[in-house]
Structure 1
Amino acid sequence: MRRLRAACLAAVAATSAGAAPAPEVTHSILPFADLAGWQDTDHEAARDVFLSTCRDMRATQWPELCAMAARPFDARLFFETFFRPVLIENGADGLFTGYFEPELRGARTPDDRFRYPLYALPPEIEAGKPWHSRAEIETDALLADRDLEIAWLEDPVDAFFLQIQGSGRIRMQDGSLVRVGYAGKNGRDYRSIGKELVRRGEFEAHEVSADVIRNWVRKNGEEGLKLLHHNPSYVFFREVSEVPADKGPLGAMNRSITAMQSVAIDPAYVPLGAPVWIEKEGAEPLHRLMIAQDTGSAIKGPQRADIFFGTGRQAGKAAGQIRDPGRIVVLLPIQTAYALVPGS
């Protein structure tokens, strides 16, 4: 196996300016035999999910591969014939987390029970430009009386975690379901509440989970609510009426994602829509072929991935327990793979 080591021009510029150089990115082509469990994965299920979004991929080679995937021949043979596994690294260890689509109780209008709003995107926000922080939005009621409320929830912690997940379903008091999806954010960087609790000495790193954070905030009243302001990032929503309730939420490709088959990645390294081989270790190892159909503000780097566990409380419980090492191997079209690693 040959390896290409190419430092980015940005790293050279940063070094000459006195800044720390950007991490060196390496690409290695692996044989399929190096993918532990490859022969036992459900290739057919992965191909079905690949087909759900590959028609939207416009870059060179992907449209032809999408057309080929729709032909009736063996799914494993399809992947092995037209792709090569590429390990992309920048020195950081692999890290897997999980996410899910919450289903929460809510109301269209506020009352004593439902008091915490989900907001639509304010028209003055420009993508990529910093706007007011979470603390300013919530403390100063900046969005009140602007008719931007989509729904009202009964728990501020639920509203906070819904923003982290980026989508969810809300069961209204009349029994109807409203699905909401990501519409934009306030241009502030995400900061981890769990890491802040560890920094304060409240917990050890291995003790932190979504449920632990949720319970701490609820037990600590105003101090708990102030902890949420440690994360200045704030997410806005839109109603997603075009997605049936029995389908998964929309991912970054604006298509429904699939439980345990869709994964969120960093598109700076992994093409959206590409097949991705997952080797997650930890208490419950998972080796599976998935499709990169989503992104996330906390998902940064070539060896960082967030696995979609599905909808509802049980999916949330399972997702919240995942923080495991491992590696991610991207399946790239043959020509693309060899262009990244010439001479292989």
Structure 2
Amino acid sequence: MSALAWQTRKDAEPGAVAGLDARVVVRRGGFALDAVLRVPGGSVVALMGPSGAGKSTLLGVLAGLTGFDQGHVRLGDRTLDESPVRRTPPASRGVVLLGQDPRLFPHLSARDNVAFGLRVHGAAKAAAADGAADWLRRVGLEGLGGRRPAQLSGGQQQRVALARALATAPAAILLDEPLTSLDTETAGDVRALLHQQLAATGTTAVVATHDAVDAVALASRLVVLEGGRVTQSGPVREVLASPATRFAAAVAGLNRVEGRAVPAAPPLTPGASSGASGRVGPAAAWRAGNLVLPLPAGVRHPSLAAVFRPSDVRVVDGAPSGAGEWTAHIVRLEQTPAGVRVRTADPDVAVDVTADRAAGLAPGDPITLRVDPADVRFVVEA
């Protein structure tokens, strides 16, 4: 079968696309990864987490490049790995890993780089050349097939690497922060290309990223990995709307402040709270450090997190004088496209202000802040 016919058949049979099912335990010194990852066939899952969370380790296990101590990796009805003995070599898995470095052969042209993958998978020389030309056209590099990697920009090299990966019709593709090293405009172009080609081929994919834009643009589900553990997973929109951790909130561009429901004045009378039900009396407020907010009717769980946008917080003059006003201390100032983000402590809150409003502010200074209680949403801590 020619390379083109092979790819056409792959495109035409989305129902036959295999999903990923993995439970991976890795122990390395003081680091431990214990994660479950399930990716339905033909779908894209974003994997997000801070540096050192275990994202690259997990992808390495899925690709067969990293050993693990316990668990399994299944692709459709195939068991690729299962502890303690079964291991499928990387070349036999039908899984491709693409990272920040395109890893193109420097002595081969773009066309020959793409054709190489097809040749390895059994395509005849002429079919591989035709397939490579078709894929270079798909990724917007028609007419550049004769150039070597050194003659291509970083974004063009990443396009060649993507073409080489998808040309072999992998059962799954793993993308380990493939856009990190690209400038913003180029990353946006390659991201759009990824979305287009993953949708067109119906390829099962996992995208490890630090950028919420990647998750929103490419994936249907989001998995948050922190400290080697999955802390939240679900549809992208739901996870970003109701982040379960401070990291997930930061990714979503939100403040997430953990606090507790407390009695409001006057104090609750004996018997007004029930430890068995985990609820406090009807007259209750919520507190985190110096921030106190009224609780909406019906919200009475003792452990709650307040979620609100940095743009909903205002810097006010004078001392706190009403609900939702508190005194904090500035930790640092960060530049944003629209102005300045002020990071504060007691509690840890981000505040977006214009550049002129930030003039004169400095780390260590006290600052009075205000958030309208109507702009705050409370979520139960996991």
TM-score bucket (shorter structure): under 0.3
Larger Rg: 2
TM-score (structure 2 length as normaliser): 0.21
Give the structure, 1 or 2, with the largest relative contact order (CA under 8 Å, sep 6 or more): 1
Higher strand share: 2
**TM-score, normalised with respect to structure 1:** 0.23
